[in-house]
Amino acid sequence: MSRAEIWDRVRQHLTARIDAWRYQQGVISADGFAGDWGKKTGHFFFASTDVRRLCSLLQQRFPVQAQEMIARAEQICKHHFDLLGYHRVDYETSIDWQLDAVHGKRCPQKFWFKVRYLDFEEVGDAKVSWELNRHQHLVLLAKAYRLTGDSKYAHEIFAQWKHWQAQNPYPIGINWASSLEVAFRSLSWIWVYFLLEDSPAITAALKDEWVRALAVNARHIETFLSTYSSPNTHLVGEAVGIFFIGALFPGVRRAAHWKQRGWQIILDAARTQVRTDGLYFERSVYYHVYALDLFLHARTIAIVNEIPIPADFDQILARMLDALCLLGRAGVLPTVGDDDGGRVFDPQRNHAEHLLDPLSTGAVLFKRGDFKFLAGLPREETLWLLGPEGLSEFEELKSSDPDTRSIALRESGFYLMAEAATGQQLAINAGVHGPGHGHADALSITLVRNGRVWLMDPGTYVYVGEGGERDQYRGTAAHNTLCVDEFDQTESLGPFRWAKPPEVEISRWVSGQHFNLFVGSHDGYMRLPEPVRHRRFVFHRKSQFWLVRDLAEGRGKHKLELYWHLGAGLSPLSTKENLFTSGSENLGVIPTEAHGWSQSAQRGYWSPVYGRAERAIVLTFGKEAELPAEFVTLLLPDARPDAGVGRLQRILSDASVSVYRYIREGKESQFFFSNVAWKFEKWESDAAFLYCEWERESKCRFLVACGASYVEFAGQRLITCERKVDYSEVMTSGDKSELLSADPDRLVALGSLDAMQMELAVPRNDSDGIGV
C-alpha cells in the first residue's frame, strides 16, 4: 500500500471508532452535519412545477408502465417487495430493515464496521436487505401519489421513512456498512424530495428533517469512500451520491465541498475506469451499464446546474454508448461477467433485455440515430431525465442503422462476428480478466439472433449462499468453452477473487468480406502438473455457419469437457442431429461424425436475474484423451429437419495439417488447419488456415487463405505472394471473380478457380436428401 492508502485506511478506522464512541455517549446528532441549510435547492432533473405535466405525459405515453406503477405501489403498501429476482417478498406489518426475508436471516444490531456482510450465516444475503434499504420503492410510491392524488401512498412513504430512521440510527447496523448503499438510498430520498416538493404531502418541518438525514449520509459517504477498497462502481456510485447532495442542497454545510469532490471523482473514474474501446474495465456487461447509468445521471445534473462538462468526459460517454450499441446489435446483450441485479433508475428493469435502456437517453444527448434504432422506443427514464423536450427530440431524431461490421474491441477482448442480413452476432470473450466481477470464461462464446439468445452465459445467480452456487455459476463449466480435468481456468479465492486469472493470447483476427476468423488461446491450465493450453479457432462463413475448433495442446492423458449452454426457450427438435428450436427458428450444434467423445444433453440451470434460477439445456461432449486432442463443432442457424443438418467429417489430422469436410445440400466445404507448410491430396500451401467451397457443378466458388504466401491445387498456383499475408479471399460468381486481400500490393499472381474441379464427396441422389 502507498502512504496515501495507509493514511486513508487509518483515518477511516479511527473515525469509525470515534463515531461509535460518540454514539454511545449520546453526542452524535444530525443537526451537527446539516446546520441551518437555508431552504435553498439546486436544479433537479425537473422542476417541482413540472411534475404534474410529466405525470400526465407518463400516463399518455407509457400507459402500461403507469398502471404497473400503481399496482406495484399497492403491493408496497402491503409490505410486499420485488427485490432483485425475488418477487413479493413479505416483510409483514412492521418492516425489519435488517432482515433478509428471502433466507430468513437477520443481521445483528451492532456498529456497521463490525458487520461481516459477506458472511451468509451472520446476515444472509446482504444484497437482499440492501436492495430493500436502497428505498427505490419510495420513489415508486411518490410517483403513484402524483399520478393518482391518493394520499395513502404519501403516508406510506413517510411512515416507512420515519420507521427506518428509528431502526437505523447512525452508525448502527448493516445499512451503514456499505457507502455505496448509503449513496443509493440518498439518491432515492432526493427523488422523493423533488417529486413531492410542491405537494401538500410534505411539510416544511419534514423537509428540514429530510435534508438533515441527507447531510448525515453525505458525511458518511465522503468519510468512508471506497477509494482503495473498491475503486470501481462502488466509488462511482458514492461520488454521484455526494455530488447530488452537494449540488442540490447548496445551503447545507460542506455542500460546496461535496459537489466539487464528487464531480472530480466522477470525471477521474470515467478517465481511468473506461477503456479506450468504450468498455468498463470490470468486463462485466451489467456493470458496464451500471457505470454508464451513473455517469449519464451525473452529467444531466451537472448540465442543469451549469457545471461545465469537459469535452473528454462526453467523448468517454459516447464511447461507452458505442460499445453498448455494438454488443447489443442483435437485439439483446450477452450476459458476460457478474449480474448485479440492481439499477440506478428502476430496479425492476434488471433483465438482459432492459440493458439497452441508456441508448434512449444517449440518442438524445448525442444526436445518434443508431442509438435510437436499437433502443426502438423511448424509455420512461428519458422522460424524467430530459423532460418533455427530450422525449420530443427522441421522436424527431431520424433513426439510422447501427454499424454492421464484425469488430474487435481489442482492449477489452470482445470479438464480435456480426451479420446484418440475419440479425445475429456471435461474441468471443477473449480479454483481460475482469477484476472482482469477472468469471473463469476465457474463450467462451455467446450467440444472439434477432433478440433471442441461442448460446448463453448462464449468469450469476447469487454472490453468497450455502450451496456453492457462486462458484458454480462463475466457473468454467458454466460457460461455452473447454474444461480440463474438471478444474476452472483459475482457482477461486473467495466470491470476488481469483488466484491467477488466465492470460489470453490472440493469434489471429481477420474480418473479410465473406468470412471472419478468430484464433486465440489461454494459459489457464498451464498450472496443472502436466500443463495444457486451450486454443480455439472460430471460422464464420457469413450467412451460413460458424465452425469452432477446440485444440488441447500438451502431453499426457486429460479429461476434456466441452460445454454448450443453449438459450432459454430452446428445446430439442432432433436429438439425433443435435437440432434445437425456439418454435420459429432452429439451431444445429453439429459435431464431427464418429468423434469418439461422450455426448449428453441435460437440463442445467441459468440465472436471468440475480437471485433467480431457471432450467435450460446444456449440451456436453467429453473424453479422457491423450494430448494433443481436438474437437470440432459446427453451429448452423436456420437448420431444417427436412433438409438435414449435413455431415461434418474429419478427413485427416497429423503433425502437419488437420482437414475437415462439411457436406450439405449438394455443397461441400473443406477446412485446413496448420502451422507449417503442408500437402494434402491435390493441395499444397503454407496457409495457417485454408477454406474452400465446391458448388453443385463440382467447381470451387470461394477460397480463403489466412497466413499464406502461396496456395496450390493440382500443380496450379492459385495464390502467390511475396510473403505471408493476413488473408486473401476469392469469390467466383458466373464469369466474374472478386479478389480481396489484407495486402493486395504483395500479391504477385492469382490463378483461376475455374480449373479447380473435383468430385463431390456426397453422392448424387443421396438417400438422406443431402445430395444434388
Query: Can you give the CATH number for the domain in which 491 is found?
Result: 2.70.98.70
Does residue 86 sit in helix, strand or coil? strand
Q: Is the dihedral of CA 353, 358, 359, 364 positive or negative?
A: positive
- What rounded mean pLDDT belongs to the chain? 92
Q: Are residues 571 and 720 both part of a single domain?
A: no
Question: 707 near 721, Cβ under 8 Å?
Answer: no
Q: Are residues 468 and 507 both part of a single domain?
A: yes
Question: 430 near 418, Cβ under 8 Å?
Answer: no
Residue 51 has a pLDDT of 96
pLDDT single digits (tens) 568-586: 989 998 777 889 998 888 9
Q: Which of 742, 704, 706, 745 is nearest to 722 (CA)?
A: 745
Q: Are residues 532 and 673 both part of a single domain?
A: no
Backbone torsions φ then ψ of 702, nearest 5 degrees: -150, 135
Residue 749 has a pLDDT of 64
Q: From the CB of residue 432, how many other CB atoms can be counted at a distance below 10 Å? A: 17
Q: Are residues 479 and 590 both part of a single domain?
A: yes
In degrees, rounded to 5, the angle at the alpha carbon of residue 356 between the alpha carbons of residues 281 and 410 is 35
- In-domain check, residue 215: yes
Q: Percentage of the chain surpassing pLDDT 90? A: 80
Q: Is the per-residue pLDDT at 71 higher than 90?
A: yes
Which run of H or E residues covers position 542? none
Backbone torsions φ then ψ of 211, nearest 5 degrees: -70, -35
pLDDT single digits (tens) 9-23: 999 999 999 999 999
Would you place residue 35 in the very low, low, confident or very high pLDDT band (cuts 50, 70, 90)? Answer: low
- In-domain check, residue 336: no
Ranges of H-type helices in 82-133 = 120-123, 126-133
Q: How many domains does the chain have?
A: 3
Bond preceding residue 501 cis, omega within 30 of 0:
no
CATH number for the domain including 97?
1.50.10.100
| Nearest-10 crossing angle of helices 151-167, 63-77 | 50
pLDDT single digits (tens) 139-153: 999 999 999 999 999
Q: Is the per-residue pLDDT at 385 higher than 90?
A: yes
Would you place residue 655 in the very low, low, confident or very high pLDDT band (cuts 50, 70, 90)? Answer: confident
Residue 644 has a pLDDT of 76
Q: Are residues 600 and 474 both part of a single domain?
A: yes
Q: Is the per-residue pLDDT at 466 higher than 80?
A: no
Q: How far is it, in rounded angstroms, from Cα 79 to Cα 93?
A: 7
Region 138-167 average pLDDT: 97
Q: Is the per-residue pLDDT at 460 higher than 50?
A: yes
- How would DSSP label each residue in 233-272? HHHHHHHHHHHHHHHH-TTSTTHHHHHHHHHHHHHHHHHH
Beta strands in 23-69 (DSSP E): none
Residue 440 has a pLDDT of 93
Would you place residue 767 in the very low, low, confident or very high pLDDT band (cuts 50, 70, 90)? Answer: very low
Q: How far is it, in rounded angstroms, from Cα 370 to Cα 428?
A: 23
Q: Are residues 609 and 658 both part of a single domain?
A: no
CB proximity list for 168: less than 8 A, separation 6 or greater: 97, 133, 175, 176
Q: Is the per-residue pLDDT at 687 higher than 60?
A: yes
Q: Model-level pTM?
A: 0.94
- In-domain check, residue 667: yes
Q: Is the dihedral of CA 570, 573, 579, 582 positive or negative?
A: negative
Q: How far is it, in rounded angstroms, from Cα 687 to Cα 678?
A: 8
Last residue within a domain, chosen from 622, 645, 668: 645
Q: How far is it, in rounded angstroms, from Cα 343 to Cα 340?
A: 8
Q: Is the per-residue pLDDT at 772 higher than 60?
A: no
Q: From the CB of residue 60, how many other CB atoms can be counted at a distance below 10 Å? A: 9
Q: Are residues 694 and 613 both part of a single domain?
A: no
Q: What is the CA radius of gyration of the chain?
A: 29
Q: Is the per-residue pLDDT at 768 higher than 50?
A: no
Residue 771 has a pLDDT of 25
Last residue within a domain, chosen from 612, 645, 678: 645
Q: Are residues 575 and 668 both part of a single domain?
A: no
| Nearest-10 crossing angle of helices 380-396, 285-304 | 80
Q: Is the per-residue pLDDT at 615 higher than 70?
A: yes
| Residue at grid coordinates 474495465 | 281
Q: Are residues 688 and 600 both part of a single domain?
A: no
Q: Are residues 450 and 540 both part of a single domain?
A: yes
Q: Is the per-residue pLDDT at 718 higher than 90?
A: no
Q: Are residues 109 and 195 both part of a single domain?
A: yes
Q: Are residues 499 and 572 both part of a single domain?
A: yes
Q: How far is it, in rounded angstroms, from Cα 670 to Cα 688?
A: 14
Q: Is the per-residue pLDDT at 31 higher than 60?
A: no
Last residue within a domain, chosen from 192, 225, 258: 225
Residue 26 has a pLDDT of 85
Region 388-409 average pLDDT: 95
Half-sphere exposure of 466 (CA within 13 A, CB side): 6
Q: Is the per-residue pLDDT at 512 higher than 60?
A: yes
Would you place residue 766 in the very low, low, confident or very high pLDDT band (cuts 50, 70, 90)? Answer: very low
Q: Which three cell numbers stand for residue 431?
A: 480479454
- In-domain check, residue 541: yes
Region 236-265 average pLDDT: 97
- In-domain check, residue 271: no
Bond preceding residue 171 cis, omega within 30 of 0:
yes
- In-domain check, residue 192: yes
Q: From the CB of residue 470, how many other CB atoms can be counted at a distance below 10 Å? A: 19
- In-domain check, residue 324: no
Q: How far is it, in rounded angstroms, from Cα 766 to Cα 200?
A: 81
pLDDT single digits (tens) 526-572: 999 999 999 999 999 999 999 999 999 999 999 999 999 999 989 99
pLDDT single digits (tens) 273-310: 999 999 999 989 999 999 999 999 999 999 999 999 99
- In-domain check, residue 632: yes
Residue-number span of the structural domain to which 766 is assigned: 652-772
